[in-house]
Amino acid sequence: MGNDTHPITVKFWGTRGSIPTPGKYFVKYGGNTPCVEVRCGDTILIFDAGTGMRELGASLLHEFAGSPREYHILISHTHWDHIQGFPFFHVAYLPGNKVTFYGGNSVSALENLIFGQMDREYFPVTLFELSAEVTFKTLVESPFAINDVKLYFTHQIHPALSLGFRIEYRGRVVVYATDSEISNDPEIERINERNIGSLIKDADILIADCQYTAEEYQAKVGWGHTSIDKAVEMSNRYGVRNLFAFHHDPLRTDEQLDIMIDNARNLVKPPLRLHCAREKTTVRV
């Protein structure tokens, strides 16, 4: 994956917010909770560990046929929909593999939150069966490096905060910025907009929280998510080229998502293009 003209490959494994949504109304865009694979050369970055992670693990096992690899998992925050896939991430059960978690919580807090869901009361397999080497890193300084990839993070407005990530590799920029509330309140937004603006500026790909329509957002102020109108407005303002609407509301059917995206296209100004993040699709930049 990846080449000189398109050095970064992004694959969506889970695009749904809050809770998995199986069923016939969710087949097109998918029902798994957030998990996005970003390949930069040989470096495998994984953003969030929602239920999409199960199929990512199966695909990696198939691709590498058991030869040991290193996987970097960056956690935006530890709400259930962003960590619940990890116990089903098969590569973590293979000796020789290395898995490193990066998050905003302290190392021990992050470890407790990720492994806490694997307590005997919740999950049948014990930690001792996780044969990969699993380590945790607290993100303190931005930017930071993973191999030859440069990453930035910023704190986003969300209950208990979340992290947005900017990935820079060989002249391309991908941003993962979900579970982030960008409100219409000018007081709150003075600082937030500066942070979010520098995070997303000139991104080739922005994967952003677009859970609500502008109308729905009015009743959800303070819930920690953004309207698609606001995400488009910010993308227009900061020179984003491709916005992928992400963290789809669990109540939103495929048909309704198509309508929501179509309506928001009226707000898009060149060079921006608006897309709807769809499970199992790959994008190269």
Q: Cβ(199)–Cβ(233) under 8 Å?
A: no
3-class secondary-structure state, position 275: strand
Q: Which residues contact 161 (CB under 8 A, 6 or more apart)?
A: 77, 104, 155
Binding site for Zn ion (CB under 5 A): 17, 79, 81, 179
Q: How far is the CB of 147 from Zn ion (least distance, A)?
A: 28
Q: What six digits make up the tokens of 250?
A: 């669990």
Q: How far is the CB of 247 from Zn ion (least distance, A)?
A: 6
In terms of CB distance, is 179 or 233 closer to Zn ion?
179
Q: What six digits make up the tokens of 217?
A: 């957002």
Q: How far is the CB of 216 from Zn ion (least distance, A)?
A: 16
In terms of CB distance, is 37 or 179 closer to Zn ion?
179
Q: Cβ(273)–Cβ(243) under 8 Å?
A: yes
Q: How far is the CB of 225 from Zn ion (least distance, A)?
A: 8
Q: How far is the CB of 223 from Zn ion (least distance, A)?
A: 9
In terms of CB distance, is 17 or 87 closer to Zn ion?
17
In terms of CB distance, is 17 or 85 closer to Zn ion?
17
User: Which residue in the shown chain puts its C-beta closest to Zn ion?
Assistant: 79
Q: Which residues contact 102 (CB under 8 A, 6 or more apart)?
A: 72, 73, 74, 75, 136, 137, 138, 139
Residue among 167, 179, 195 at smallest CA distance from 48: 179
Residue among 226, 225, 204 at smallest CA distance from 272: 204
Q: How far is the CB of 33 from Zn ion (least distance, A)?
A: 7
In terms of CB distance, is 49 or 234 closer to Zn ion?
49
DSSP string, 146-157: ETTEEEEEEEE-
Taking each helix axis from N to C end, the angle separating 228-237 and 186-200, rounded to the nearest 10 degrees, works out to 60
In terms of CB distance, is 179 or 279 closer to Zn ion?
179
In the block, tokens 């979340």 appear at 162
In terms of CB distance, is 40 or 74 closer to Zn ion?
74
Residue among 244, 238, 241, 139 at smallest CA distance from 195: 238
Q: How far is the CB of 22 from Zn ion (least distance, A)?
A: 17
